[in-house]
Structure 1
Amino acid sequence: MTKWLLLSLTCVAPMALGRQPQTAVEACQNLTSGSSCNINHNSGQCFRLSKSQALICRADKLVIAKTSLQDRASGMPPARRHQVIQSEGLRNKVPADRDPIASSRIKVTLQGAWRVIEANGISAHKTGAFPNSGNPHEIATQRYKYQVPTSPKMAAKPTSVTLQNFGIAVNGVPFDPSAAEWYLGNRGLWRYEALSGAVPLGVDENYAHVQPNGAYHYHGLPSGLLARLQVNADRHSALIGWAADGFPIYALYGYNEGGNEESGIVKMHSSYRVKSGQRPKGHAQPGGYYDGTFVADYEFVEGAGSLDECNGRFVRTPDFPLGTYAYFLTEEWPIIPRCFRGTPSKDFRRGPRMGRPKHRVKG
């Protein structure tokens, strides 16, 4: 049995995703847990994520939009309606102090031109408590079976990651950067960034939470996994997972010159930046200033970082000494890539193939 070495690893959320709004704390001053509160003209309830943290006000004004016939056919979740237009970042995370509900199981086999990945979706690292005040779902084992090409090819143009898993980690937990949260519930441009703090989603210290079907999944840097894999600034990142198009996923650290392992280790940086100025205001437009609350608040600035628009680059790695295109998880947005450079496997689409719960155990 492999003996895992747990290391101390600090995973820093992007600056734009950095804090719980102070107004949420102020709204619960001199109140007790469970008391009614008011934030941004919305009623809510005071709660705390841990004994060491202050009470915060969580607005309960959340309207579930009707599920369209198209959504029903695709298996996609309904668009949830919110009205928040500014946020001060994710500050409070659920402590990852709960043991896994079951043993982590993952099997990777090569079958012809395909890499077949089967997993139960359970991490070996600890998770937060689920359900919690921001996420009402229990963790459940899954029946994942994905196949991705062993020799992926670059597509003619990138494909956007919509409401689907971007890939799967080496521990069998999916990477799922998006959330079904929209301004006024209108599917379109103004989708909320999952880790902006604008919508309380109950993520734990692994930047993860749980789908209605019990699927535990990462929205950001998987802190517990990176610690187990000993990801640090002294060496090239270990393999973190596989993207839906078959290209490998790494995290944070790579060679300064992508194809030269003698060029030293550097931290990878996204080339996305928060736009400057004001958002459009009017019918179904939020107004306010760009701050990272919405996915559309970000823009790609070529050359601003070390990675391309899909948070990737051509590299040599210890796993691919002859070279490959590879994705990197970064501290800055998008953290998990938001587009594919190859052709994503249909296995990663939302719906019945996404994974079915085998059984539920209280988290």
Structure 2
Amino acid sequence: MLLVLTASIATSKANGLPDHNHGQFPNRGNPHRISAQSYQFRVTLDPKLAKRIQPSGRYTFGVAINGVPFDPGSAEYWKNDRSTGWRKEALNVPGKLGMDHNNAHVQPTGAYHYHGLPHGLLEKTSPNQHSPLIGYAADGFPIYARYGYRDSDNPRSGINELTSSYELKTGNRKSNEPSGRYDGTYNRDYDYREGHGDLDECNGRTGVTPDYPDGTYYYVITADYPYVPRCFRGTPDDSFKKQGIGRQHPGSRPQGRPRHDGPPHHHLPMREPRF
């Protein structure tokens, strides 16, 4: 991914192909073939916390440093009815909708995207070190994965695996809901409980990181729900807004078909902005 910097905006241009091996597409759970896209995302260099939290549903949440989008929501709903609000969790449904080992799969447009921890991107990370910067959210705040400082303001406090503050509900769903126990199949199987984990409602927190020694708000991709954050603490840029009914990423125009499970796809080097 190439970042073009101006005084206040970084514009990322990418084809959306990962720089690590990916699974075979099409596959039994996902009929789509991965193909190059033409992405152009704008990221503010001066992100600010907004007065209100904004759900990320209408937006692609963010983009990884290799140009692959983070987009946690699935297009699958209870009774195939979006109005029910019972959206299926892409990582928790039988067959996992054709997910590969990177918790990623392909949209009808050929767009490869992450629903959870991008393991191929994290191959060189260590549980004994703070996560490297792995991307930027649509509101400009940085994205990390899994590991951070035990004390968010103290880089000498040791390393913890950061956990979300969402928990699975107990018992059975109600009569007007999908049958069965709250088992994580649907987004509404979870409740946010402030202070339950290390992170806030948007799976983020404020603190110092190796890239931001003076401190910043940042998001974390976690091993537990919500995996990829589902809301913004800042104001997302419209370049991340989804097209149509939300199934397509912005700028998703197929440009060719890469070889499956072959050598990693290389991108232009990314210049990391400092907010």
Whether the TM-score (by the shorter chain) exceeds 0.5 is yes
Equivalent position amino acid for 2:203 in 1: N
Equivalent position amino acid for 1:182 in 2: Y
**Counterpart of 1:280?**
174
8 Å CA contact retained: 1:192, 1:198? no
Equivalent runs, 1:54-93 vs 2, <5 Å:
none
8 Å CA contact retained: 2:37, 2:251? no
Say if 2:17 is the partner of 1:122: yes
**Which ranges of structure 2 fall in alignment gaps of 5 or more residues?**
244-248, 261-275
Say if 2:215 is the partner of 1:319: no
RMSD over aligned Cα, in angstroms?
1.4
Say if 2:242 is the partner of 1:358: no
Change (3 A) 1:331 1:338: same
**Counterpart of 1:175?**
70
Say if 2:160 is the partner of 1:160: no
Say if 2:107 is the partner of 1:207: no
**Counterpart of 1:300?**
192
C-alpha separation between the residues in 2 aligned to 1:200 and 1:320? Answer: 35
Offset at residue 233 of structure 1 (A): 1.4
Give per-residue Cα distances to partners, 1:30-60, cap 9 Å, x unaligned: xxxxxxxxxxxxxxxxxxxxxxxxxxxxxxx
**Counterpart of 1:194?**
90
Offset at residue 109 of structure 1 (A): 2.2
- 1:262 corresponds, among 134, 152, 156, to 156
Equivalent position amino acid for 1:120 in 2: N
Change (3 A) 1:204 1:271: same
Say if 2:41 is the partner of 1:146: yes
SS of alignment partner, residue 42 of structure 2: strand
Larger radius of gyration between Structure 1 and Structure 2: 1
Structure 1 residue runs of 4 or more that deviate by more than 4 Å after TM superposition: none
C-alpha separation between the residues in 2 aligned to 1:304 and 1:288? Answer: 25
SS of alignment partner, residue 134 of structure 1: coil
8 Å CA contact retained: 1:138, 1:361? no
**Counterpart of 1:135?**
30
SS of alignment partner, residue 250 of structure 2: helix
Provide the identity percentage: 50
- 2:138 corresponds, among 233, 244, 248, to 244
C-alpha separation between the residues in 1 aligned to 2:74 and 2:240? Answer: 15
C-alpha separation between the residues in 2 aligned to 1:276 and 1:353? Answer: 37
C-alpha separation between the residues in 2 aligned to 1:122 and 1:328? Answer: 22
C-alpha separation between the residues in 2 aligned to 1:317 and 1:339? Answer: 21
**Counterpart of 1:18?**
none
Offset at residue 278 of structure 1 (A): 2.2
**Which ranges of structure 1 fall in alignment gaps of 5 or more residues?**
1-105
C-alpha separation between the residues in 2 aligned to 1:214 and 1:358? Answer: 9
C-alpha separation between the residues in 2 aligned to 1:192 and 1:327? Answer: 23
C-alpha separation between the residues in 2 aligned to 1:129 and 1:201? Answer: 13
Change (3 A) 1:200 1:307: closer
Give per-residue Cα distances to partners, 1:301-333, cap 9 Å, x unaligned: 111101001010001111111110000111111
Change (3 A) 1:263 1:362: closer
Say if 2:228 is the partner of 1:336: yes
C-alpha separation between the residues in 1 aligned to 2:58 and 2:175? Answer: 26
Offset at residue 170 of structure 1 (A): 0.5
C-alpha separation between the residues in 1 aligned to 2:226 and 2:54? Answer: 15
Equivalent runs, 1:38-53 vs 2, <5 Å:
none
SS of alignment partner, residue 82 of structure 2: coil
8 Å CA contact retained: 1:163, 1:179? no
Offset at residue 197 of structure 1 (A): 2.2
Offset at residue 287 of structure 1 (A): 3.0
8 Å CA contact retained: 1:241, 1:248? yes
Offset at residue 361 of structure 1 (A): 4.1
Change (3 A) 1:361 1:263: closer
8 Å CA contact retained: 2:142, 2:219? yes
Say if 2:118 is the partner of 1:222: yes
